[in-house]
Amino acid sequence: MLTSLMALAAILLTTLVFLQWRMANPPAAEPVALVIPTVAKDTNFVNLWTAPSDWRLSRLAPQEQELVRYGRELIAHTADYLGPKGSVAHISNGMNCQNCHLNAGTQPWGNNYGAVQATYPKFRERSGTVENQVKRVNDCIQRSLNGCGLTPQATKCGGF
């Protein structure tokens, strides 16, 4: 009888000691897997042509810089220069090239001019002939802006 009581007390004591030790040393929390949220790349905008940044203008001769700036102006605000009340000439309607060629023709997927210099002169089915850049610009002036063409020598043409 005494032996079993002592055994019971021993078991109780051991349990108490263990519980106290457990409270003082709680089991380490399971490591939580580190989840880094990722956003899938928009593949529509990977490896696309982007327009040269403005600082690259400084590599050009002053005259060429002027021409680039003038061209950007003409494309963005065509009507101010060539429209019905244009300051340079009245040869087109009130549209700007930028209405269709976004961000002065520099916007990815915005009908930009990224491939023009590299792909013209090229054959176009509409005219059935090989067209150069001047012809192509004039095509837009005549058809999109309902205007008359520029001569290749015109500074406006160089700008475009």
Give residues in contact with ligand HEC (CB under 6 A).
Answer: 78, 95, 97, 99-101, 111, 113, 115-116, 136-137, 140-141, 144-145, 160
Based on DSSP, count helices (H) and strands (E) in the chain, helices before strands: 8, 2
CB of 81 to ligand HEC, least distance (A): 10
Distance CA 148, CA 122 (A): 22
Cβ proximity to ligand HEC, 30 vs 125, nearer residue: 125
Cβ proximity to ligand HEC, 2 vs 118, nearer residue: 118
Q: Are 133 and 140 contacting, i.e. CB atoms less than 8 angstroms apart?
A: no
Distance CA 137, CA 72 (A): 14
CB of 144 to ligand HEC, least distance (A): 3
Cβ proximity to ligand HEC, 65 vs 142, nearer residue: 142
Give whole-number Cα distances, 69 to 40, 60, 76, 154, in Å. Answer: 37, 12, 11, 15
Cβ proximity to ligand HEC, 20 vs 111, nearer residue: 111
Region class of 97: left (phi > 0), else alpha (psi between -120 and 50), else beta: alpha
CB of 36 to ligand HEC, least distance (A): 40
CB of 37 to ligand HEC, least distance (A): 37
